Structure 1
Amino acid sequence: MRHRLLARALPAFVLLAAVAGPAMAQEALTYQQPPSPIADILDTKPTPSSSLSPNRTTLALFDRSNLPPIAELAEPMLRLGGYRINPRNNGQANSRVSWLTGLSFQPVAGGEARAVQLPANARFLSPSWSPDGSKVALLMDAPTGLELWVVDVATARASKLTEARVNAATGSAFDWTPDSAGLVVRLTPQGRGAAPDVSRPPAGPIVAESMGRVAPARTYQDLLSDAGDEALFDHYFTSQLTYVPINGRGARDLGAPAVYLGASVSPDGRHVLTTTVKRPYSYVVPAGLFPSETRVIDLQGRAVHQVADLPLRDNVPTPFDAVAPGPRSIQWRADAPATLVWTEAQDGGDPRTPSEVRDRVFMLAAPFNAQPTTLIDLNERYGGITWGDADTALVTSRWFNTRHETRYVIDPSNPGTGRVLLERNYQDQYNNPGSPLTEPNAQGFNVARFAADGRLLMTGPGATREGEYPFLAAMDLNTGQSERLWTSATGEYESIVGVLDDGARRLVTRRETKNDPANLFVRDLNAATTTPLTHFTDPAPQLAGVSRQLITYTRADGVQLSGTLYLPAGYDKDRDGPLPLVMWAYPAEFTDAAVAGQVVDTANRFVRPGGSSHLFLLTQGYAVLDDPSMPIIGKDGAEPNDTYIEQLTASAEAAVNAVVELGVADRDRIAVGGHSYGAFMTANLLAHTDLFRTGIARSGAYNRTLTPFGFQAEQRTYWEAPETYNEMSPFAFANRVNEPILLIHGEADDNSGTFPVQSERFYAALKGNGAQVRYVVLPLEAHGYRARESVGHTLWETVRWLDQYVKNAPPRAAE
């Protein structure tokens, strides 16, 4: 029987294969360090993150861990039901966890921050304010599991509430009660015992069958695969729901153990909304689509009401506007004591079925013994509710095919209808009205904030061609008109962290400029003053002299394009001449050419690279064109991808011409690169153009027949659009790749569609056709690279490859 426990010795090498000319070689290579100053920047302590307390008096400042050592990723890992977990602590795998290492409290009124004394070498996650803002709960890592701790703000003291039994396999593990007196926690069952032994020989074959039932499924990672996986899933995902008071006395179990995927306490603190999964499990979809039951229980664990009993959902149609039949998006109404809200598709969940009503939103108040009330009917898919007060809420609906969004104003006290507040293309950056400003109410649920005159407070990025300038506005819900109350100043990027007074005249903001790192301030709108709360410094001063400018240019078909051009510190075009340049991009699909051509300057943002960022190349004498527009536009109802190669090529040609005409790049020394869908783009550009000397493709997918039920923004199946799938697959054109290409892939990639076999098979195709290709496999790494050794080695490979094939390469022979 094959089990899914990945326990291995710490890898001392990176596996790679290389082709140089006609010879092929396999290498065992130890992890390499990138050149100076990249390694120093990678080892710099990250800037703390922050969170404002619900009572508006305190900022929690969290110290963050740096890139973890590969030894952390080498801990055993289980892949079960779409999740990756660490069996040592019954939490998520280290590749998916960003640990916090310290906590301090900064009074908003000013003064020194007070550090919380935590155990030596402490690391924790999931910090959560109590509704009254007096405490912070968190999960502390311990040798044998995760412990629930609580930190008192007044004393800055931390104390342990539970033993190492918290079950965080699904991520979320606890929820505060509204009175801030306790938490509902998922614990591993008392006396659970050892995990089942799945190393025994199998009892028989694994059989799957489908007898004519249509059940398409997109590619998923980390699924169950046999009876051993099912046994492990039951062991590690079964939880005992438990009420744990913060005084440590009177903890009690709520019902029997079950496989919980969710548990949320109602605003009145009398009920818990739970979702559990049950057998039969599936080997083709993740746990979120297993048969499930959503119920309301009381604080004694007794069943009160069944909201939904759903079957296996492995037959949802492939279009993005498709959903499963039955109740979904089940939640508590934020501004009512105990009212359930959910939506159900009225078209069977299939957007191809004609229907005037796509989704119907229902509401049902405790004691849950009446018929549900229709809150509103929608002609698009439900996108969520922002609750305001007894007679005001905002409902959003969206339709992917058209990128259309509708926002409705509804009166929950008079359900059944809604009034359209606004409609928009949700990809339109320039005309984004923002989103309602929300903050926790007394029960800890986020609700909308209103101005004194009843208008709804809105905040958003404020995107214009000149840049993003976050704002605070008041919107009249009768007319949809907004008045700007405050906008970030020219040359600054200042966003709202929280509101400090009922009139929304005192704000906590996070402000940065091109040259100044982000710090927290108290902004008084009446006095027009700011008071600094933090003094974080530049984490990478080695990059302070880098220049940055937005460049704009036009594609051959008239579509407006743009990109951010970075030039190394001290570079002088007249003195130094054209530079080797790297273009790093990621295509995007649009239905409107005007929206696709929108330009937003980032000159007011503080930019420093992290992880395996391509911007580190600026320290090595390269220019970088970051995020040059690669729009794939579907016009007049046509599918964007039917002309993917033509549009991609046209965008790349326009970008190359733009940087050459500026005099900063040598046409003969330009490389292209990207991650994930950007890697797919890179391979296609090398296969279909001769614009670039080389390409760097990280964690990509190259054969679209391996994602036959859709990928990225492609909704059609392979059998509906075989020509498009084939023409978009660089694997099919591997014989045309005549420039060197560096392939990098995480050995344990967890992203849907980018299985490591994609790079493995593409490498084999390139090798078989005589290409110059280097294939690097990063042990233990997922879709994004986490370990310090992996990140450092990736950057070493990148610099070394570009130096060989771009910076120091001889001129190409005339064609």
Structure 2
Amino acid sequence: MKLRATAFFACIAFIGFAQMEVSAQSTYQTPPKSIADLVNAPSTPSVRWSKNGDWMLLMERSDNPSIAQLSQPELKIAGMRINPATSGPSRQTGVENIKIKNTQSGEEIQITGLPSNPDMGGMSMSHDEKYMTFTQTDSDGISLWVVDLTTFSAKKLTDKIINDVYGNPVAWTPDNKLIVKAVNPNRGGMPQRPAAPAGPIIQETTGDAAPSRTYQDLLENSYDETLFAYFMDSQLMKIDLEGNKTPIGPAGMIKSMDLSPDGSYIMVDLIKKPFSYLVPASRFPYDVEIWSIDGKKVKVLAEIPLDENRPTGFDATVTGPRNINWRADKPAMLYWVEAQDGGDARVDMEEREVVYTLAAPFAGEKQKLATTPYRFGGIIWSDDTFAIMGERWSRTRMDKRSIINPSNPAQPKQVIIERSSDDLYNDPGDPVMVENEYGEYVMLRKGDLVYMTSPGGSPEGDMPYLSTFDTKTKEEKILWRSQAPYYERVAKVLNDDATEFITIKESTDIQPNYWLVNTKKRIAPRQLTNFDNPYESIKGIQKQLVTYERNDGLKLSAVIYTPEGFEPGKDAPLPVLMWAYPREYKSKEVAAQVRGSQYAFTRVSSGSPLFWVTRGYAIMDRTEMPIVGEGDKEPNDYFIDQLVANAEAAIDEIVDLGIGDRDRIAVGGHSYGAFMTANLLSHTNLFAAGIARSGAYNRTLTPFGFQYEQRTYWEAPEVYFNMSPFSFAHKVETPILLLHGQADNNSGTFPIQSERYYNALKGHGATARLVFLPNESHGYAAKESINHMLWEMDNWLEKYVKDKNELEPSK
């Protein structure tokens, strides 16, 4: 440990000198045409269904925004990113066109009267499906629009009054009126930053432990507090279909509002002071109030304190009421859970959590509904005699589901499912949901039979299925299952016995489309949509799921793509780009399971490695990198050894198949995949190059836990040190490309992680390149940024991988 610490502090000393270097500024570049064509491929419309599936809503999204759009003014406060000109989120891409498609006739109907410069979002149907609302974001605000679904015409319903900085701003009442969270008409102009600070910024602790994960974009001073209060200032309003507005209740810092199923009450969360500089707005103190539909306060249900002092660990939680919701099967009944262990998972209790209910008019005492010795995992409702309650325990990956009888809380729970949350092969799935008379979603069931859809994990990959699950016998009966060579899953069930349903069907080179399936009538499935394949240029590439073994016998898998016409053994081995993301498991059997589907459509997202199959590379995608720690052992105690063993096995597999050239393999990943990449280059010389995007490289900067590591730095300092690529920057001999969004707001991956790591690499003479993408977050959005990222990656791969033999002619 002494030698390691010496190297660590020597690294820090070097950083001070390395930071004196002047960074280079470049213009945005464009990747080769074969890559650019895939980036510019049109997006496929997203779909929403009517209740009975007789029509679908087709929403066509706009392309990626320009860097100019992404560079508009933005406030980063309280963990939020706000566009101050609109009182809405600053980073979202809206819908640019809406159509209705009749599933029986196939007729497509264009919605008329849409905004001239559409940037639409928040589509919401009225209970009777005669109307639909959406928000329209312009440069100076957000307005509300309504579509008449009998005439298929849209009209503007309000001026730019919507406050969309936090929570859902629109809800339908049963009588076709709207409850809207509007900007407080009396909030005035935006506060101006003072010319001089009002005083020092002070934080103080009085001895209570307050461990906190690493958050970004937090409040920093009193001016930030003023801005936060200003943009949260909202007024609820009732609006009819003619646009007439009536204020509801007093204005305030409304966090969220939720209408009871019968439309009689509104649950309103109101943020209050003190604010925090340590945690985001989601953990600020707030009151939960119940209002009548006309805005009269009926009850203060809970006063939630500031959540700064939560115990450590992923199974830790807050004290007091949480997860407060309306029961979906009742007109106006609330339910919530309260921890009995002070939120501390280290306390052993039989009744760790208690679920309570309280019915309108909320004057009585809360009623105990159920208890759990674990953490509450939510409730799926059916009726007053049948509901499914979830229980979970993150540390052991336990997922338990039980039947409860809401009308008789004394009746013992009946456990129907108990499994590891990572166990795909034994996942029966989730209940099929249908709308009830209140427009709320409840499970589809017949007596003891619950209809379920499952991803269908298997040694051949995911083969989704539709089933009935007998909650008495715990037996499944599969009603329908996806068949090779297709990847097909149920999108919507249309009748009570699940014999008619709509699926999404795709294959390796067939674009996903919707099909009508009837298992009762002996008729062939009917295709409902005909979305084009946007990636015709790679339609002929080859894809295969491969399985192989690690040196300890653990089975691994990956999906390999090769260029059209490539023949292993006949053609020369290819340069390889291996892309991966490590995951932690508590069981070797579960870690060895095959994930994903070899028959899924080859979709190329902007962050995908598949672009380089057009450049003559083999792509090893979804390369499994499991880290296993069974029983009392923690996975991260073995992180480096298992990570290296995973990489060695993957390389051996692609080389033994005659596909990859062992001397020309690159490894890459995004976020935790970038962390993985840097670790592999620190501890091996297996690769020709590495690409690390938006990663974290010094775990001491995330000292209260990261990913699935629940121990703090002070509890496991060796783990934090040994897992930090920064600690071993002096050992990196492989060229590494670091890319990072300069406005990354993901917990733990702030841009300084890449800056400090690059400086450490430079200080020790490594070959490295650091590229910051201006105004980009954890994922990259602007066209210019995406194109430049791909250009950087292509140049790096061409120079250090494909042309490696030219760089090193002696090898």
2:606 matched to 1:611? Answer: yes
* TM-aligned CA distance change 1:359 to 1:814, over 3 Å: farther
Matching residue of 1:85: 82
Instruction: Please say if residues 373 and 415 of structure 1, whose CA atoms lie closer than 8 Å, have aligned partners that are also in contact.
Output: no
Matching residue of 1:14: none
Distance 1:77 1:225 in 2: 16
Matching residue of 2:276: 282
Instruction: Please say if residues 144 and 159 of structure 2, whose CA atoms lie closer than 8 Å, have aligned partners that are also in contact.
Output: yes
SS in 2 for 1:85: strand
Instruction: Please say if residues 612 and 794 of structure 1, whose CA atoms lie closer than 8 Å, have aligned partners that are also in contact.
Output: no
1:142 to 135, 138, 144: 138
1:663 to 658, 665, 671: 658
Distance 1:569 1:639 in 2: 43
Displacement of 1:315 in angstroms is: 0.8
Instruction: Please say if residues 275 and 292 of structure 1, whose CA atoms lie closer than 8 Å, have aligned partners that are also in contact.
Output: yes
Displacement of 1:247 in angstroms is: 3.5
2:479 matched to 1:485? Answer: yes
Instruction: Please say if residues 148 and 160 of structure 1, whose CA atoms lie closer than 8 Å, have aligned partners that are also in contact.
Output: yes
SS in 1 for 2:804: coil
Displacement of 1:131 in angstroms is: 2.0
- Code of the residue aligned with 2:358 in structure 1: it is L
Distance 2:93 2:527 in 1: 27
Q: Residue deviations 1:573-612, cap 9 Å, x none? A: 2342110001111000000000000014622211121213
Displacement of 1:489 in angstroms is: 2.4
2:237 matched to 1:242? Answer: yes
2:403 matched to 1:409? Answer: yes
Instruction: Please say if residues 567 and 622 of structure 1, whose CA atoms lie closer than 8 Å, have aligned partners that are also in contact.
Output: yes
Distance 1:318 1:264 in 2: 31
Instruction: Please say if residues 92 and 171 of structure 1, whose CA atoms lie closer than 8 Å, have aligned partners that are also in contact.
Output: no
Displacement of 1:25 in angstroms is: 7.3
Instruction: Please say if residues 106 and 113 of structure 1, whose CA atoms lie closer than 8 Å, have aligned partners that are also in contact.
Output: yes
Q: Which runs of 4+ in 1 moved over 6 A?
A: none
Q: Residue deviations 1:676-727, cap 9 Å, x none? A: 0000000000000010011000000000000000000000110000000000
Displacement of 1:508 in angstroms is: 1.8
2:227 matched to 1:201? Answer: no
Instruction: Please say if residues 132 and 442 of structure 1, whose CA atoms lie closer than 8 Å, have aligned partners that are also in contact.
Output: no
1:116 to 94, 111, 117: 111
2:450 matched to 1:444? Answer: no
2:648 matched to 1:653? Answer: yes
1:348 to 342, 347, 356: 342
Matching residue of 1:264: 258
Distance 1:628 1:25 in 2: 37
Distance 2:287 2:297 in 1: 12
Distance 2:204 2:232 in 1: 27
Distance 1:57 1:305 in 2: 42
Distance 1:134 1:57 in 2: 14
SS in 1 for 2:147: strand
- Code of the residue aligned with 2:730 in structure 1: it is N
- Code of the residue aligned with 1:267 in structure 2: it is P
Matching residue of 1:780: 775
Displacement of 1:153 in angstroms is: 1.6
2:672 to 659, 677, 688: 677
Distance 1:246 1:508 in 2: 32
Is the deviation greater in 770-779 or in 592-601? Answer: 592-601
- Code of the residue aligned with 1:577 in structure 2: it is A
> 1:234-383 maps to which residues of 2 (within 5 A)?
234-249=229-244, 251-383=245-377
* TM-aligned CA distance change 1:53 to 1:486, over 3 Å: same
SS in 1 for 2:69: helix
- Code of the residue aligned with 2:597 in structure 1: it is T
2:158 matched to 1:162? Answer: yes
- Code of the residue aligned with 2:296 in structure 1: it is R
* TM-aligned CA distance change 1:713 to 1:600, over 3 Å: closer
Cα RMSD between the aligned structures?
Answer: 1.5
Displacement of 1:491 in angstroms is: 1.7
2:510 matched to 1:513? Answer: no
Distance 1:600 1:222 in 2: 35
Matching residue of 2:25: 28
Q: Residue deviations 1:442-496, cap 9 Å, x none? A: 3221110124x65211111111122322211111121221111111222222222
SS in 1 for 2:647: helix
Distance 1:541 1:578 in 2: 25
- Code of the residue aligned with 1:264 in structure 2: it is D
Distance 2:344 2:465 in 1: 38
Distance 1:136 1:502 in 2: 26
SS in 2 for 1:322: coil
2:800 matched to 1:800? Answer: no
Distance 2:338 2:95 in 1: 39
- Code of the residue aligned with 2:385 in structure 1: it is D
Instruction: Please say if residues 93 and 119 of structure 2, whose CA atoms lie closer than 8 Å, have aligned partners that are also in contact.
Output: no
Q: Residue deviations 1:50-94, cap 9 Å, x none? A: 001224332100001111111110110101111111111111112
Distance 2:121 2:309 in 1: 36
Matching residue of 2:454: 460
Structure 1 unaligned regions, length at least 5 = 1-22
Distance 1:262 1:171 in 2: 5
- Code of the residue aligned with 1:288 in structure 2: it is S
Distance 1:25 1:282 in 2: 36
The number of residues matched between the two structures is: 788
> 1:61-100 maps to which residues of 2 (within 5 A)?
61-94=58-91, 97-100=92-95
Is the deviation greater in 679-688 or in 35-44? Answer: 35-44
Distance 2:39 2:78 in 1: 34
- Code of the residue aligned with 2:639 in structure 1: it is Y
Instruction: Please say if residues 470 and 495 of structure 1, whose CA atoms lie closer than 8 Å, have aligned partners that are also in contact.
Output: yes
Identity of aligned residues (%): 45
Question: What TM-score do the two structures reach when normalised by structure 2?
Answer: 0.95
Is the deviation greater in 303-312 or in 683-692? Answer: 303-312
- Code of the residue aligned with 1:734 in structure 2: it is A
Is the deviation greater in 594-603 or in 266-275? Answer: 594-603
Instruction: Please say if residues 463 and 597 of structure 2, whose CA atoms lie closer than 8 Å, have aligned partners that are also in contact.
Output: no
Matching residue of 1:131: 127
Displacement of 1:98 in angstroms is: 2.5
Displacement of 1:813 in angstroms is: 8.3
Distance 1:729 1:270 in 2: 54
Structure 2 unaligned regions, length at least 5 = 1-19
- Code of the residue aligned with 1:426 in structure 2: it is S
Question: What TM-score do the two structures reach when normalised by structure 1?
Answer: 0.95
Is the deviation greater in 419-428 or in 114-123? Answer: 114-123
Is the deviation greater in 486-495 or in 680-689? Answer: 486-495
Instruction: Please say if residues 448 and 472 of structure 2, whose CA atoms lie closer than 8 Å, have aligned partners that are also in contact.
Output: no
1:688 to 683, 688, 691: 683
Matching residue of 2:96: 101
1:633 to 601, 614, 628: 628
Instruction: Please say if residues 730 and 761 of structure 2, whose CA atoms lie closer than 8 Å, have aligned partners that are also in contact.
Output: yes
2:378 matched to 1:384? Answer: yes
Instruction: Please say if residues 63 and 101 of structure 1, whose CA atoms lie closer than 8 Å, have aligned partners that are also in contact.
Output: yes
Distance 2:230 2:359 in 1: 35
Instruction: Please say if residues 689 and 735 of structure 2, whose CA atoms lie closer than 8 Å, have aligned partners that are also in contact.
Output: yes
Instruction: Please say if residues 510 and 518 of structure 1, whose CA atoms lie closer than 8 Å, have aligned partners that are also in contact.
Output: yes
1:581 to 556, 576, 580: 576
Displacement of 1:812 in angstroms is: 5.3
Matching residue of 1:16: none
